[in-house]
Amino acid sequence: MEENYYDILQVNKNASIEIIEKAYKTLVKKYHPDLQENNIKKECEEKIKKINEAYEVLSNSEKRKSYDLTLSHQNIISEEEYNKLYSEYINMKNELNYLKNNINNTVHNNITNNSLENNSDFSQGANTGHFTDSVNDAINKAYYDAYIQDLKNRGYKIKYKKTKKDYIAMLITFFIIVFLSFLLWHIPFVRKYLVGLYKKNSALKFLVDSILNLFS
């Protein structure tokens, strides 16, 4: 994908203005044409132009908001690119299905031959089914992981929809944390330490007071 302003300044999209300024100064010093040899001066001049352009936008809060909005729209896949990705998906799926079928046939034939030799068709046949399912699951997972990683490498953001189980797990985790906090609070030396920390740390005191005010 095309290099964006954050890539040019070599910073994260959530970088603060201080980090952006520091990165800008570092890169200007590194690529300043006057500090380069003649054979790479022109290349560095173009680099500095891009760096200055990126800094001009990202150092201005309003320009940065507008640019971030533009970036989010660029992440939307066009119809042509979607069709290309879907075509690659189908081809990869067909190749994996072909591989899976070959593995299943080989495993089935090998175990069937062993079954005839050992006169234990029934038990071996059951094992064949379980083994085949395991192979199928492993191949499907490998395909899915490879496909997702390929999309990430192209610069796409992968968003996973939370399921009912995810919300239940989050709720259970929350109650466990509350329960453990309750138990710890009733241990004298722990409570003494937490009260001392509360009194000494103004930021923590403000946070705790704000939370208590919400429930009061």
Q: The domain 5-74: what is its CATH number?
A: 1.10.287.110
What is the arithmetic mean of pLDDT over 152-166? 67
Helix (H) or strand (E) holding 114: helix 79-118
> Per-domain residue ranges for the chain?
5-74, 79-153, 164-215
Query: pLDDT by residue (tens digit) across 78-128?
Result: 556 656 766 777 887 788 777 777 766 665 566 556 555 555 444 444 455
What confidence tens digit (pLDDT) does each residue in 170-192 have?
889 888 987 887 788 889 887 88
Q: Where are the beta strands (DSSP E) in the chain?
A: none
- Write the CB contacts of 8 (distance below 8 Å, at least 6 apart in sequence): 50, 51, 53, 54
Q: Which helix (H) or strand (E) is 9 found in, with range?
A: helix 5-9
What is 160-216 written as a DSSP string? PPP-HHHHHHHHHHHHHHHHHHHHHHTSHHHHHHHHHHHHH-HHHHHHHHHHHHHH-
In the chain, how long is the greatest CA-to-CA distance?
84
Distances (CA, A) of 122 to 86, 115, 128: 42, 8, 10
Candidates 29, 50, 49, 32; CA nearest to 40 is 32
Read off the pTM. 0.37
